[in-house]
Structure 1
Amino acid sequence: MSEPKKMSVGQLTMLTAVNMLGSGIVMLPSKLAEVGAISILSWLVTATGSLALAYAFARCGMLSRKTGGMGGYAEYTFGKGGNYITNYTYGVSLLIANVAISITAVGYIQVLLGVELNSLQVGLATIGLLWLTTFANFGGARITGKIGALTVWGVIAPVVFISTVGWFWFDKSVYAAGWNPHDKTLFEAAGASVAITLWAFLGLESACANTDAVENPERNVPIAVLGGTLGAAVIYIVSTNVIAGIVDNPELASSTAPFGLAFAKMFNPMVGNVVMGLMVLACVGSLLGWQFTIAQVFKSSADTGYFMPIFAKANKAGTPIVGMLVLLAAQTALGFLTISPDLSKQFDTLVNLAVVTNLVPYILSMAALMTMQKVSNVPPRQALMTNIVAWTAAAYSYLALYSSGEQALMLGGVATIFGYTLFGFVNNRLIRLEALNNSVPTQTVSARHLEGEPVPVNNLDLRLEARP
């Protein structure tokens, strides 16, 4: 039987870029307009930091011999506690991000239908959409996965169109008038929008998940991840700056549907409504996929003992319905707690908090890469170059933390520390599982290590599982 045909580097590069061009960009033109077109400096900082992160994650994926993605990476340096807190903060980040995506869809729906909702109504609509997309996943991921793969083009097509054809409507005087409306210094402008621009790149770490499906992964995965991230960065930067030259800055900054507004200016209100409808569908499709994804993140961690057993329960279709309902309750509470008279401010709060919690696993993974290279006997010169990239990525991550604001840092810190409290309960289960594993007859050398696999320096596993 012949092996399935693997992806080329070009195909993986395109897949990586498409994966990042999701609902994260839908509100960006309005958020960047609050700073002005000078926010392009933040894009340049974020693009550099994201490229460093992307390359470092590609190296992590090539070197790691542990399962669990970023949790497995962190375990090399920080042990089981590092694995747990990485998966925990990543899961919390996804939970918060889902509420932000739902609010994005509600903002576009308001403009599309020509209605103005008060803060409570926005909150209820946001929560209703979360409930709808959760219940729609109870039958399994097959249908929702196909819907998401189709609806994502509702974002990609308008964004790519405006990045290329939108220049015909670009007005230099409009762009210049909105360049720096608040008279920020270059340093202030460069840091002002780092968190919101990073929001568009969250998920770049998942681009390394196709290692086994590509030809010559050692060479092609880093190329594809860097190429896809760079491609997404170019489209992000160009599209948001083109819109800044089409729509007046005050009007753009106050809009909850910036792409629809831009297309209405370029053509007519009907075209703007079509674009808004496409982007609503894209947000709903994205939310469908992420609601299932977050449940699977919690389930896989519960299966390995890192999360509470309630998240591991699944029906015959493999859907963790109980875990989904627990996560939905948390999202509902978050939707109520972040209610604001200004939808844009509520979106800001959620995005900044999602970025802060997502940066914890990023920083831990960057630190673990040094250990992974040592364990894998990477030549010193190559290891030094990779470590410099990882340090750059970590420095950018700290800048993004700082730019997220005091409130997001405080709440994100509390959420992270609370995770360590929960680990006290989880660790008891891990100890019981280890005790059960230790009851199996073992020898002194692991078969994996006899086969040449690098031995982790933390949590050395020198046992050989008994085989029939």
Structure 2
Amino acid sequence: MSSSSSPKALGFWMCSALVVGNMIGSGVFMLPASLAPYGWNGVLGWIVTIAGGLCLAFVFARLSAALPREGGPYAYTQEAFGRTAGFVVAWAYWISLWVGNAAIATGAVSYLSVLVPAIAKTPGLHALVTLGLIWGLIGVNCLGARLAGEVQVVTTVLKLLPLAAVLGLSARLLGRDGAAAVTAPLDTAQLGGPGLVAASALTLWALLGLESATVPADKVKDPARTIPRATLFGAAFTGVVYLLVCSAVVLLSPPDALKASNAPMAEFIGRFWGSGAAMAVAAFAAISAFGALNGWVLLQGEMPYAMARGGVFPAFLAKSSSRGTPVRAHLVSGLFLTALVGINYAKSMADLFTFIALLATTASLFTYLACALAALKLQKDGQVHGSRPLTVVAILAGLYAVFTLFGAGKEAVMWGLVLLAAGLPVHLLMRRAARA
């Protein structure tokens, strides 16, 4: 088999690019609009989310070092609590993948609409462009993991350029005008409370993906060493970038203008550097979301593939192509994603992004909570090296997941539970088949 189709195609930098690329997607470019109503609570929300995200990254790093298996969260939970718990986590995580991909693709098309205004003005066109983008990347991932990894490295580098531009402009404004440049009033009486909880739930959407390198473990070189390093490096780097960039846009922009924007970061740049700079940022933002979507599409195929190989999903999803890629799993995930975009095509791009982002976050939180509990159980059973830091961090990660579930809101949690319940018939059928 050629190196281009080798199953061990992902090294440290490709895994790091997978983590950073999956985390820096549409979130950093779209969230300023969603966070605008929360003002300074948005900044505090980032701090809470980064702290919780690093706790989760540490848990995943320790689990992947002890159990470098494909499937990531599903494998850890099944090892700790059995097949039923493993199925619930795998189902929840898979839902978060294809639901989240709908939000990422929507973010990419939202910024494309700055370059091609007809996308926003023509009813239903944004949904068609979104689906075209999704299926194009499914095709790339079906051609092999290495090609997807190379696309990820290139787009990860490109997506950092507009973020650097925002940081440069923000530093210039603060250096010139000082505190007068800040448009969001600081009201200490409003800090904390429901605003902080809601902002923390929204900001977690941007950190989803910190576990990305754990999923395709069978395609990673030296996974016991590579995956933990890539996970911790990617989460820490991305968290700092998010805190600086998103906080700058929220605090230095008029809140009313930001709330209604389909491309808040491009609008921020355009206010000071003109429409040409705004168009350039919009182009790079679309590339950023494109790169993130590429990485997430890789995972939305690998997860059901790993589940099927473990006997949790129907066996026909466990088949791979001559290139070693799970084509059938990619196609099934793509069909669910297509249905979600089609059902919600009538919503505006901003509203669609916020709703789907919260839904994907809710599904991921069930997975994160289960993995934190799995780390404690496996440590107690001696399958993960025991240590006080792991115990403390795993408890904090679990508490953070519960805290953020409250912030996601009733609607997102309700729909998350409905989607989880939809997996029950699949699980019962698979158990019946196993007994037969």
Consecutive unaligned residues of structure 2, counting only runs of 5 or more, are 1-10
Equivalent residue number for residue 55 of structure 2: 52
Q: Could you tell me which of 174, 192, 204 is aligned with 1:198?
A: 204
Q: Is the 8 A contact 1:77 1:371 kept in 2?
A: yes
**Aligned-pair identity (%):** 27
- Please say if 1:428 is aligned against 2:423: no
Shifted more, 100-109 versus 386-395: the winner is 386-395
Higher Cα Rg: structure 1 or 2?
A: 1
1:403: how far off?
A: 0.9
Aligned pairs (5 A) from 1:242-261: 242-261=248-267
1:399 equivalent in structure 2: 403
Superposed counterparts of 1:426-465, under 5 Å? 426-431=430-435
Q: Which has the higher helix share?
A: 2
Query: Structure 1 residue 92 and structure 2 residue 95: aligned?
Result: yes
Match of 1:128 in 2: 132
1:269 maps to which residue? 275
| Alpha carbons of structure 1 residues 108 and 12: separation in structure 2 relative to 1, 3 Å | closer
CA deviations over 1:232-279 (Å, ceiling 9, x no partner): 222111111222344322222221112222222332211221121122
Q: Given the superposition, is the C-alpha separation of residues 142 and 53 from structure 1 closer, same or farther in structure 2, using an over 3 Å criterion? A: closer
Q: Do the aligned partners of 1:144 and 1:285 also contact (CA within 8 Å) in 2?
A: no
Q: Name the residue aligned to 2:420.
A: 416
Structure 1 residue aligned with 2:183, among 177, 180, 187?
A: 177
Q: What does residue 140 of structure 1 align with?
A: 144
State whether structure 2 residue 180 is matched by structure 1 residue 167. Answer: no
Partner of 1:307: 313
Q: Alignment partner for residue 74 of structure 1, among 73, 77, 80?
A: 77
CA distance in 2 between partners of 1:17 and 1:313 (Å): 29
In structure 2, what is the Cα distance between the partners aligned to 1:347 and 1:153?
Answer: 24
Q: 1:118 and 1:35 mapped to 2: Cα distance?
A: 31
- Kept in 1, the 8 Å contact 2:40–2:191? The answer is no
Structure 1 residues without counterparts, runs of 5 or longer: 1-6, 433-468
How many angstroms does 1:288 deviate by? 3.0
Rounded to whole Å, the distance in 2 between the matches of 1:338 and 1:326 is 19
The two structures have a TM-score, normalised by structure 2, of 0.85
User: Is the CA contact 1:353–1:411 (under 8 Å) kept in the aligned structure 2?
Assistant: yes
2:339 to 327, 330, 333: 333
Segment drifting more, 207-216 vs 420-429:
207-216
Q: Aligned-pair RMSD on alpha carbons? A: 3.3
After alignment, is 169-178 or 253-262 more displaced? 169-178
**CA pair 182-150 structure 1, distance change in 2 beyond 3 A:** same
How big is the shift at 1:72?
1.9
Cα distance in 2 for partners of 1:123, 1:15 equals 26
CA offset at residue 225 of structure 1? 4.6
What is the one-letter code of the residue matched to 1:43? W
Greater Cα shift, 21-30 or 344-353? 21-30
User: Match for residue 108 of structure 1?
Assistant: 111
- Higher RCO (CA-CA < 8 Å; seq separation 6+): 2
Indicate the residue corresponding to 1:449 in structure 2: none
Aligned residue type for 1:41? L
Q: Distance in 1 between matches of 2:347 and 2:145?
A: 35
My pick for the range that moved more, 108-117 or 206-215, is 206-215
Range 273-282 or range 403-412, more displaced: 273-282
Looking at structure 1, the residues matched to 194 and 293 of structure 2 have their Cα atoms a distance apart, in angstroms, of 33
